[in-house]
Amino acid sequence: MRGEIYVKIAYWYYTLGFTQDEIAKRLSLTRQKVNQIINSLMDLGIVSINIHGYEKENVEVECKIEEKYGIRQAIVASDYGESETAIYKVANVAAQYLDEYIQNEMTIGVSWGHTLAAVVNEMSFKARNNCCVVQLMGAQNIDQGAEKSDEIARGLANKLDCASHILYAPVVVENAETKMWLLREKSIKASYELMSGCDVAVLGVGELTENATMCTRGYITKADVRILREQGFVGDIAMNPIRKDGRWDGCPLTERLLNADMDCLKQIHNTILVASGRQKVEAIKAVLSSGCIDTLVIDETTGRLVLDNN
């Protein structure tokens, strides 16, 4: 277990007054395990009169995000004001978290994007038995191959020395009838069954503007963006558009998407959002408000902006 988690448990227990049951529920641990950790904090030198070993400001930001959005855990990476390198600091912290979190016999779902590609690149090579990595959204025809969901799935499977399952279909089709026919295909049915059985999902977030990748790469048109914005949609997760208040119902794009929908993401035990960037703050807030995120990994600067009520 990461040393930072021991520090956070100390902060929750001794500073915020959380009970051992509350801590156990947040971290999906047994109460006995939490009790064991708390009893070891003095011997480890983490707790004396003060809490040592972690930046107090980051712990406070994490706890405020957890409280505001009702998520299980926030992990804030120190960026030291260096916004241009924040994504790599976030990727490194997320990679460390996943290196420890992913265990044998897990099914891991992934989406797409530059941030996730960086996370996979930072992860260690560590074989897991009977794991499977699943592509949570259809294919993207983009130049940056490493950022595509199928390449991210293959890359993560390579790090874990396990199988990957690719969704052989486009992420957006032109009409609902095409999606209906594709869903009858045996291989696509199998992909959807694996999506619904994921133990963990690792996702990036996209802003919903005409400059966003999903628009500049032609998956949706500028007219689509305008319609979605008029209906209150401000961001997306695994290509699922989300409104500012976290709602996603009535989205006109949904019937054309081949991906894990929001109901699927909500039922996954640990849905992890890895996010960075001032331009994505509105989208991050929306996704956190949706109720589908369990764990957030974010840089300090963006995390503080996410707490801003503006």
* Same structural domain, 32 and 78: no
Q: How many domains does the chain have?
A: 2
* Same structural domain, 122 and 212: yes
* Same structural domain, 212 and 298: yes
| pLDDT tens for the chain, residues 1 to 310 | 667 889 899 889 887 888 899 999 999 899 899 999 988 888 888 876 445 555 567 888 999 999 999 999 999 998 876 666 788 899 999 999 999 999 999 999 999 988 999 999 999 999 999 999 999 998 766 555 457 889 999 999 999 999 999 998 988 888 899 999 999 999 999 999 999 999 999 999 999 888 777 777 767 778 888 999 999 999 999 999 999 999 999 998 899 999 999 999 999 999 999 999 999 999 999 999 999 999 999 999 999 999 987 6
* Same structural domain, 159 and 86: yes
* Same structural domain, 236 and 263: yes
Listed residue (302, 284, 274) closest to 117, CA to CA: 274
* Same structural domain, 117 and 69: yes
* Same structural domain, 60 and 202: yes
* Same structural domain, 29 and 71: no
* Same structural domain, 34 and 121: no
Last residue of a domain, one of 15, 32, 53: 53
What pLDDT was estimated at residue 2? 64
CATH of the domain at 15: 1.10.10.10
Last residue of a domain, one of 53, 73, 93: 53
CATH of the domain at 238: 3.40.50.1360
* Same structural domain, 44 and 120: no
What pLDDT was estimated at residue 55? 58
The whole model's pTM is what? Answer: 0.82
Domain hosting residue 96, numbered range: 55-307
* Same structural domain, 38 and 121: no
* Same structural domain, 145 and 279: yes
